[in-house]
Amino acid sequence: MQRLSGKVALVTGGSRGIGAAIARRLAEEGAAVVMTYVNGEAQAQSVVDGIVSTGGQATAVRADNRDAAALEAAVERTVAELGGLDILINNAGIFPTGTIEEVTLEELDRTIAINLRAPVVAAMAVVGHMPEGGRIITIGSNLAVRVPWPGISLYAMSKAGLVGLTKGLARDLGPRGINVNVVHPGSTDTDMNPADGELSDPQRSLMAIPRYNEAGDVAGLVAWLAGPEGRSVTGAEFTIDGGANI
């Protein structure tokens, strides 16, 4: 059963990893999907081609999360070409590293711009188009809750900020029947953090179930929140990390 038939979804950072898995899953559930990318045009087109080859509807649009005008244009294009916008997935992000003695102000500004400011900009752009029953789902991180190693202060800060944003937006948009939630993945098998990488064993050592997420695991949770079963869930955090934070 296609639970999202007739819905339109915009996924930022959909060319690879978790974003690509979310785009594919929402399309499988019946949504028409628009996904943004920055540099991975060939990867983004490959995701689109895969969705279309199985009967889905998808488009890739270049939009840098640092560029508010580009994000706003992606929203307007989605609405103009597909007739509306029901689901926003704020997925695009970066993973800066370095202790507080090592990071620069430029890295701080870039992290805030991409990981935190952009979801605000996207939400501002979509709410005028989003009907009752709309969904805003942001991809956070389990590192927003617990930081087990040094060197990830900027990343943890930016992801923790998404929790406050989610709860605030849930209050702002609840009277309009729009649900807002945040999903916190833990270690997930992608090209950025492969399950067989040199840092994978230390990450597994934190988990109650010592197994990396598949990107599709995260996508399945997002699809549930986007679907009809998630209609009463808003302002909530969902951690999917094998119990690393318990």
Is 245 domain-assigned? no
Q: Where are the alpha helices (DSSP H) in the chain?
A: 17-28, 41-53, 68-82, 105-111, 118-126, 153-173, 200-204, 215-226
Is 34 domain-assigned? yes
Is 133 domain-assigned? yes
Query: What's the number of CA atoms in the CB half-sphere (13 Å) around residue 203?
Result: 20
Is 2 domain-assigned? no
Is 205 domain-assigned? yes
Distance of alpha carbon 183 from alpha carbon 11, whole angstroms: 14
For the chain, give the longest Cα–Cα distance.
52
Give the three-state DSSP class for 160: helix
Is 36 domain-assigned? yes
> Can you read off the two tokens belonging to residue 101?
């003695």
Distances 25 to 60, 150, 225 between C-alpha atoms, Å: 16, 34, 12
pLDDT by residue for the chain (246 residues), tens only, comes to 699 999 999 999 999 999 999 999 999 999 999 999 998 899 999 999 999 999 999 999 999 999 999 999 999 999 999 999 999 999 999 999 999 999 999 999 999 999 999 999 999 999 999 999 999 999 999 999 999 999 999 999 999 999 999 999 999 999 999 999 999 999 999 988 999 999 999 999 999 999 999 999 999 999 999 999 999 999 999 999 999 998
pLDDT confidence of residue 167: 98
pTM, full prediction = 0.96
From the candidates 4, 113, 155, 234, which is the catalytic residue?
Answer: 155
Catalytic annotation on 155? yes
pLDDT confidence of residue 40: 87
If one counts the domains in the chain, the total is: 1
Distance of alpha carbon 156 from alpha carbon 144, whole angstroms: 5
Distances 15 to 59, 122, 126, 171, 209 between C-alpha atoms, Å: 11, 18, 21, 31, 29
Distance of alpha carbon 107 from alpha carbon 159, whole angstroms: 15
Cross-strand bridge partners of residue 11: 35, 89
Q: What is the CATH number of the domain that holds 65?
A: 3.40.50.720
Is 160 domain-assigned? yes
Sheet bearing 135-139, strands edge to edge? 57-62, 32-37, 8-11, 87-90, 135-139, 179-185, 237-240
Distance of alpha carbon 194 from alpha carbon 178, whole angstroms: 35
Is 226 domain-assigned? yes
- Write out the residue range of the structural domain in which residue 52 sits: 8-240
Residue in 70, 78, 90 with CA at minimum distance from that of residue 169? 90
Contact 14, 45 (CB under 8 A): no
> Can you read off the two tokens belonging to residue 44?
């983004």
